[in-house]
Structure 1
Amino acid sequence: MGLGTITGLALSPGGFALLENETALTAAEWIALPGTVFLEILKMVVIPLIICSIVLGILSSGSPRQLKKMGAFIVPYFIATSFVAVTIGLSLSLFIQPGHMMSAGAHAMVTDAISTASAPILDELTVPQRITRLIPSNFVEAALHVDMLKIVIIAIFFGVAALTMPREIVKPFEALCLFGQGAAMQIIDWAMALAPYAVFGLMTDAMIHLGFDALSAIGWYMTSVLSGLAIILSLYLFGATVFGGHSPTTFLRAIREVQLLAFSTSSSAAVMPVSIRTAENNLGVSEDISRFVIPIGATINMDGTGLYQAVAAIFLCQIFGVDLSFTEMALLMCVIVGASIGTPATPGVGIVVLATILSGIGVPPAGIGIIFGVDRILDMCRTTINVTGDLTAVVIMERWMKSRSA
């Protein structure tokens, strides 16, 4: 990762510019090839792995009662941590006030950014329409658009249905899921041979395209987001130690491979197979918990994304002079939690969801152009936190389930 950062900055037109602009971009494409291939292999197995893992996780619970225990813990846990993350983001941005620290020249740069950049905006839907859209009426469409939330819901429906059916009817379906899960994990083992080259290539590519701007622009905004992510990480380490029985150093050492991959790929869905393997092999989590919790966590546990959206919303409110009342702030918190839970676990989607949030609080969605330049770096960081949160959840749940069964 370090070599990739240095190499990218050396070749970047926005860095040391050792190569001409077009030559550097061509080199970036070739250097990133191992990383691109690595990502595509992981994406290839993500959907079958999610479905098979969730179904097998539900079936391994043994009974609807045991499943209810697991669901009754993990869903409130993820929602609670999301509210904590958003609260941290709002508090930091109100304390640091990054939007009030921009000079007149910076505001001129902001105006240019807004006039030249735009972000795609999601469909404006009412709450009943959004609830209706959660129902995956078309599996092919959900798979085509890699709509992880709908895919998880489909898997949960099939898993719960199988759990209530006679064993002799379910056995062929369970065997099929066992094959799908085993085949996916084997493919992942093959792909891991590319991991070091993938990290180098992806980091080099990112730095060539972004240059020093990604490391220096809008410093106070970045400081607010990164400080909040650091606080969340410390809370995760506290939870893994006190409630999960893992010391901070042991826990970080066990998950560092996943963290580096998450940082490089900016996709918690892409690294989900590696997260499952890490939970089982490095953290000693049982298969029924890891293969049930992590696919769900990769879909709804977006603490880093929620914090980022909170900081970005307040930052842009401060720039555009939008004053929010306490009630509006509380409503914004609920909207961000809901939006972060429904955010697809793929690179760059968080900023698209942010456009919808901004339109509801009086900030021009085109204002996102202000933070385009540094979003990729922050996307890497918040994805790392999201993945760390998934692994923290499995160690806590592993210990909680053991205490309940003792």
Structure 2
Amino acid sequence: MKGGTFSAVEHIFPKSQKFLTGRFNRLVQGRLWLQVLIGMVLGIGTGLLINPDTGFVSKPVANGIGEWLALPGNLFLAFIQMIVVPLILASITRGIAAATDVRQLKSTGVGLAFYFVGSTIVAAALGVVIGLTLTPGNYVDRAVAPAAELAGPVAELAAEGEARAAKPFSLVDLPTGITELLPTNPLNSIVSGDMLQIVIFSIVLGVGLLSVPPQSSKPLFELLGSVQEICMAIVATVMMFAPVAVFGLLAQAMIKTGPGVLTGLAAYAAVVVFGMAVLLVFYLVTALVLGGRNPLEMLRSIREPFLLGFSTNSSAATMPVTVKTAEEVLKVRPSLSQFIVPLGATMNMGGTALYQALATIFMAQLYQIDLSMGMLLVLIATTVGASIGTPAVPGVGIVVLASVLSSVGVPLSGLALIVGLDRILERFRTSLNVTGDLVACVVMDRLVPAKVSRESEIRSAAEREHIQETRNEDVVINSRGGH
């Protein structure tokens, strides 16, 4: 060590996540996204055919069939949710070690904080503006709104979200709230799935590992690397069943929703997809203005992770492909991509923020609730806060939306109306979240100063990767000072 607390950052180099993409090549080459789309169409058709309103089967029989059809999908969601916490913890901790120097690490952290919060605010504001302008809630028969009742897992998730928003905000309690962000018991945070505390713990752990001699930190870095590889092996295996999972989940949703309500909600879905398209344009303009990237070239470059995000419905599961695209296609410095992508998977949720804000406006219009300018500002603030730190897994959108609805006094019973469509729309917002992470990479790559040039860093990274491959080593020590 050279005497500085963080001097080890120049001497220890864990292997990049992009080496884990080999397991996903078969999925990408097999056009998993197309298989998922086919599963969605078949699931919707099957569900509408079995729906009790068609008269082919009775309601109890239809619900029973729906439960069995949804079983593969529920197992799929459980497996994805199971691996996210260890994957995020390992990825962020190892990503910190990729920084080339302390100044870059600090500059990236500060710049990311402003970028994540700023872009999420813009996304939430876009959701509010689009919702107020296109008024999707006026296209649904309001007679079905009061009759909608929450039941089963949806009711449990909604209750969890409502509990998050139950405590009113107070400046007096703000210092206590800031203190509570720190995980005094990391194991408890991991068990409870408190993603924001897990992210903070991962950052602290990563910085701590860089504060000790490389020989001391190497075993833990290698252990976390094994955790990453195991998690990705599980994801790659589970993703082979994604089309079947999507088919079953959508079939069950359509059995419970029915064709009458679905017809009225089509306008809402169209408005959400339009909002996602507007957000995509905003991201491409940001990449042009702040990142100096041609929008059309940017769109072509991110095609693979964009479609994989749509297929996996989890930005965390897409991380290796996202990192590989950032480094090899967009030519972003490895020290930035390996740090930004894992953080962005849990803290850069622009697509989620837009969706939560727009859905809340839709619900308010459905129940004929007028939201004042003050409540709209509260809505944007709550949406931003709820989106940051949300687990990057399918199905948690209901929890976030329930907390946002509760904060502005909109009834939660309307969630039963959109839970079926949410299975489809959350895939669009996942793709937008992945896009936001890649845009963050190109923006930070241009704006964050570094001790070494981009060309020199990329060349050094390539040399280390060659050593890691030939020696079959996960972590390289002292590679900078001579091999």
Give the TM-score, by structure 1 length: 0.83
Residue by residue, what CA displacement relative to the aligned partner does 1:61-90 show, whole Å, maximum 9, x if unpaired? 244322111112111001110111111111
Task: Give the secondary structure class of the aligned counterpart of 2:268.
Answer: helix
Write the distance in 1 (CA, Å) between the matches of 2:417 and 2:187: 36
Structure 1 residues 213-362: aligned runs within 5 Å: 216-362=263-409
What is the DSSP-based 3-state SS (H/G/I as helix, E as strand, rest coil) of the residue aligned with 1:317?
helix
The amino acid that maps onto 1:4 is G
Of 224, 227, 234, the match for 1:180: 224
On the 8 A contact 1:254/1:278 being kept in 2, the answer is yes
Which residue of the other structure, out of 33, 36, 40, is the alignment partner of 2:76? 36
Match of 2:137 among 99, 106, 111: 99
Structure 2 residues not aligned, in runs of 5+: 1-35, 454-483
Q: Deviations over 1:348-390 (max 9, x none)?
A: 3222222222223232233333323322222222122112111
Summarize deviations over 1:176-215 as a string: whole Å, max 9, x none.
Answer: 21452266247636854664x3342233223322348596
Kept in 1: contact 2:287–2:443 (CA 8 A): yes
1:50–1:295 contact (8 Å) kept in structure 2: yes
Mapped contact 2:347–2:388 kept (Cα < 8 A): yes
Output the aligned Cα RMSD.
3.3
CA contact (8 A) 2:346 2:390 kept: yes
**Shift in Å, 1:305:** 1.3
Moved more, 248-257 or 301-310: 248-257
Specify the alignment match of 1:125 in structure 2: 167
Single out whichever of 19-28 and 205-214 deviates more from structure 2: 19-28
How far apart are residue 237 of structure 1 and its match? 2.2
Matched residue count? 395
**Contact in 1 for aligned 2:92/2:203 (Cα 8 Å):** yes
CA distance in 1, matches of 2:350, 2:404: 16
Shift of 1:91: 0.7
Q: Gaps (5+ residues) in structure 1?
A: none
**Counterparts of 1:43 and 1:368, CA distance in 2:** 22
**TM, length-normalised to structure 2:** 0.71
- Report the 3-state secondary structure (helix = DSSP H, G, I; strand = E; otherwise coil) of the residue aligned with 2:247: helix
3-state SS of paired residue (1:93):
helix
User: How many Å separate the matches in 2 of 1:157 and 1:26?
Assistant: 44
CA contact (8 A) 2:145 2:366 kept: no
Is 2:241 the partner of 1:198?
A: yes
- Residue 108 (structure 1) aligned to one of 122, 138, 143: 143
Cα 1:43/1:251, change in 2 over 3 Å: farther
Larger Rg: 2
Partner of residue 108 from structure 2, selected from 70, 81, 85: 70
CA–CA distance in 2 between the matches of 1:259 and 1:265? 10
Deviation at 1:57, TM superposition (A): 3.1
Q: Write the distance in 1 (CA, Å) between the matches of 2:224 and 2:400.
A: 32
Q: Which moved more, 1:141-150 or 1:211-220?
A: 211-220
Q: What percent identity do the matched residue pairs reach?
A: 36
